Structures are given as structure tokens and as C-alpha cells.
Structure 1
Amino acid sequence: MKLVVLTGIPGSGSTTVLNKALDEVDYVHLNYGDIMTEIAIKEDIVQDRDELRKLPPETQKEIQAKAAKEIKQRSEKDNVIVDTHCTINTPSGFLPGLPIWVLEQLQPDLFILVEANPDEIIYRRLNDESRSRDVQKAKDIQLHQEMNRATSMAYATLTGATVKIIGNHDNHLNSTIAKLVNVLNL
């Protein structure tokens, strides 16, 4: 069985591409934050996902590690694709989305980065009324994608996984989905 990590910065379209590709592949889709929330609720630590961020860092780390262990166990029976953040752009700098204690548990086979041109991402963010997203300049969006590339290669170095970058450009959704399906079926 395979364990794949799929990531893309907000507005890259990674969730849209993934949801459509899931109709064509035999994978269980898991959202890392959802698994963390389920664990924290079961342990009576939080009532909902928004409370996770307010927990002490050590508690968050423990839940992260438990989530990684659960995801890895599920990947022993099924092909699993984990939707998560490669890096998080915080006011104090970029934060790795998959720290070492998570990678040691997960041991993914493949990292897939979904990317788009910065101007496409800006346009998508501005037109997404379902979310409240930060307004960023094209150079900041490009930097975030470059950080994801560098970080995913560091993750791959630690785990032996490969890294695949898939462009998701406007008016090419079907070909982007086909590329993702192809990679997942290899």
C-alpha cells in the first residue's frame, strides 16, 4: 500500500484537484488536521478544530505524533493520500507542516506539490467567498511555493520518498487531474 502526502498553498487548487482525482483512484483521503481533531476530541482535550491552535505546543506535538501513527496504520490496509500543509506562513516565518516526529511515524512514499502561477493564486483567493484569506503579493506567493519545494525535498531526504510537482493552471483542470491520477496509479 502507498502513503502519499499532497500539499499546495492556499489558492493553488490542491483540494479541488484532489477531490476530482479521488473519483478515479483507489485511495482513502485523510486530512491531517481532521485526524488531529478526532484524536483530541476523543481524548476530551478540545471540542472542535479551532481549539487545537490554542493548546500548549507540547500537547499539539503529542497529537500530531498520534495522528501520524494512526494515518500510517491506515496505510497498511489501504492506499492513503494525506491532504496537509507542507509549510505554514506565519508572522514569524515559515513553519514546517510535517516536523521530524511526524515524518518518523508517517514514512510517506511520495510528496505531491500542487502549484499555480502567483497571479492565478491571487485571482482564485480574491474570488473564493467561502474563505477569508490573507492578501499577498505575487513575490510572497512565489516565495511560499519555493519554500514548499525546498521543505518537501528535505522531507524526502529524511524519509526516502520522492517529490512530484504538478502545475494547476487556469483552464487546464482536466489535464491537471489526469496528471495526478497518473502519478497516483504508478
Structure 2
Amino acid sequence: MSGKRVVITGVPGVGKTTVIDASMKRLAEEKIPYKAVNFGSCMFDTAKAEGFVEDRDQMRTLDKDIQKKLQKLAAQRIGAMEGNIIVDTHASVKTPAGYLPGLPEWVLTELHPDTIVLVETDEDQILLRRIGDESRKRDAEGSRSIVEHQQMNRAFAAAYAMMTGCTVQIVRNENFLLDHAIDAMVTVLR
């Protein structure tokens, strides 16, 4: 395996994909190529082909054994890729049964991350972004739930770092300060 592996995580609505896309554009201008892979899309493609779901928002309601199987298959596909790879995913997934690790041992073993990045911002900003995003069907959550989820993501990221020896970075994606988030992300990705 060659290249850098960076796992970028964040709660739904934090704007991680926006930060990733803008950072990749800036890195391309610097001739530093990266391929971004959405872990959930890899899982969803498999789940849909197997008849488990019809839309992406149904993924978090699947039985945990099915989710584990889908995680393994997606990790194997991504782990086989060459070059600098960004894995756009979630550190944890909130399910009816509790928080499910987004990167359990069998996923980390395949991905071999160099760095895990947590994209974060204040819970009120996330709430407003979710309300404004009509393209997704998300469970209603209050600010306390978002704070808890971001705290759980930090705990999961620390555990992942302990398992792999990778570093953990936090990138803040504040409203009206996207350029600051991009600067911080590009620094991590260089």
C-alpha cells in the first residue's frame, strides 16, 4: 500500500463533505492528488444490491450483524486502493440500540489510517444546517444529543488511535469561516 490514508469523520450536518471537497480542490492546485471515498456509499451500494435497503437513511436501522458485514466489505474495497486516500465516514453511528463504532477493528485493519480527523462545530450550527438540508431524512435531534454524539466521536477516535497508532486532529468548521476549516484540513492532508 502506498500513499497517505486520512479518515475524516463528523456528525451528520457538520459539513465534512463540504470541507473535504474544497480541500481536495486546493490540493489539486498544489499537485497533491487525493481520491475521496465515502465509506457509507460503499456500504450503501452493497446493501442496496443485497436488497437490505432502498435509500441511504435506512442504513442506520439495519441489524448490527448486517452492518458489520457491510462494513467489512466496504473496508476491503477501500483498503485495496492505491495512492492518497480520504475516507469520508462517521466515527460512530447512532442506532436504536446505541452507538455503533464506524471504524471497528476489522475496518481499521483494512484501512490502515495515518490520521483520523474529526470535523466539529457548535451544536446550534449543526441544527440549523440539518434543518436547511431537505435532501436528507434525518431523525430529529436536539442540541444535547448532538453534543453527546460529538463527545462519543472523540472517545471513539481516541480508541481508534490507540489501536492503530495513528494521530487524531480536530478541524473546526464554523459558520462563515469555511476557509479556516479548509486551511486546517489542507495542512493535515499535505
**Structure 1 residues 40-119: aligned runs within 5 Å:** 45-46=50-51, 50=55, 53=59, 57-74=64-81, 77-119=82-124
More deviation in 137-146 or 123-132? 123-132
Deviation of the 1:134 alpha carbon: 2.5
Superposition map of 1:1-16 within 5 A? 1-16=3-18
Aligned residue number for residue 166 of structure 2: 161
- Residue 30 of structure 1: CA displacement? 0.4
- Whether the 8 Å contact between 1:3 and 1:72 is mirrored in structure 2 is no
Kindly indicate whether the alpha-carbon contact (under 8 Å) linking 1:86 and 1:151 is maintained by their aligned counterparts in 2. Answer: yes
63-72 or 145-154: which moved more? 63-72
Matches of 1:16 and 1:137, distance apart in 2: 23
Cα 1:114–1:38, aligned 2, differ >3 Å: closer, same or farther? Answer: same
8 Å contact kept, 1:3–1:108: yes
TM-score (norm 2): 0.85
Matches within 5 A, 1:97-176: 97-176=102-181
Q: For 2:43, give the aligned amino acid.
A: M
Could you say if the C-alpha distance between residues 156 and 131 of structure 1 is closer, same or farther in structure 2, counting changes exceeding 3 Å? same
Amino acid across the alignment from 1:125: R
Q: 1:55 & 1:146 partners in 2: Cα distance?
A: 24
Shift of 1:61: 2.7
Contact persistence 1:114–1:168 (CA under 8 A): yes
AA partner of residue 83 (structure 1)? D
| CA distance in 2 between partners of 1:49 and 1:3 (Å) | 30
Unaligned runs of 5+ in 1: none
Distance 1:33 1:79 in 2: 19
Aligned to 2:30: none
Per-residue displacement from partner, 1:136-168 (whole Å, max 9, x unpaired)? Answer: 222211111000001011011111111000111
Structure 1: distance between partners of 2:138 and 2:42: 23
Q: Is the CA contact (8 Å cut-off) linking 1:30 and 1:83 kept in structure 2?
A: yes
Distance 1:94 1:36 in 2: 17
SS in 2 for 1:136: coil
Q: What residue in structure 1 maps to residue 36 of structure 2?
A: 29
Number of paired residues? Answer: 181
Task: Compute the displacement of 1:27 (Å).
Answer: 0.7
